Amino acid sequence: MKVFLGADHAGFALKEVLEEALGELGHDAEDLGTHSSESVDYPDFAHRVAEAVLANEGSLGVLVCGSGIGISMAANKHPGIRAALCHEPWSAEMTRRHNDANVLCLGERVIGQGLARATLEAFLTAAFEGGRHARRVGKIAPAGE
């Protein structure tokens, strides 16, 4: 599966760990930055990943900042993106199964590397269940769309 990664400076180290994990798991990871721990603005990377996911059907995204909050808010400004902030595997699985989330957001200052990897794996292996959940996901679009 194609997975686009992005992070700001506060999420850089965890993004690097997750990129390596994606390779080990056999996924095609594309790192859209940042590429160092030098201070940058998280919305820039949220927008890059959101646009890449929208342009590549069937792909997923992973975003990391210090808390995961800001980067998830920025990604969710894109119609069609359902970015979910998760810090443990159960939520990551459920957001794929019930919300058809297409971007996983993590906070490097909140979650350890081992738990982050387990959360990523849960996100990647779960599938959208459709059915009643599809109706609900359809209602997420902003008013007027």
Q: Each residue of 87-124: pLDDT tens digit?
A: 999 999 999 999 999 999 999 999 999 999 999 999 99
Catalytic residues: 65, 98
Res 143 pLDDT > 80:
no
Q: What is the four-CA torsion angle of 139, 92, 127, 62, rounded to 10 degrees? A: 90
Res 142 pLDDT > 80:
no
Domain ranges of the chain: 2-138
Q: What is the pTM of this model?
A: 0.96
| Whether domain 2-138 has CATH 3.40.630.10 | no
Q: What confidence category does residue 140 fall into, taking pLDDT thresholds of 50, 70 and 90?
A: confident
Q: State the pLDDT at residue 23.
A: 97
Q: State the pLDDT at residue 141.
A: 74
Give Cα separations from 134 to 30, 92, 101, 128 (angstroms). 28, 17, 12, 9
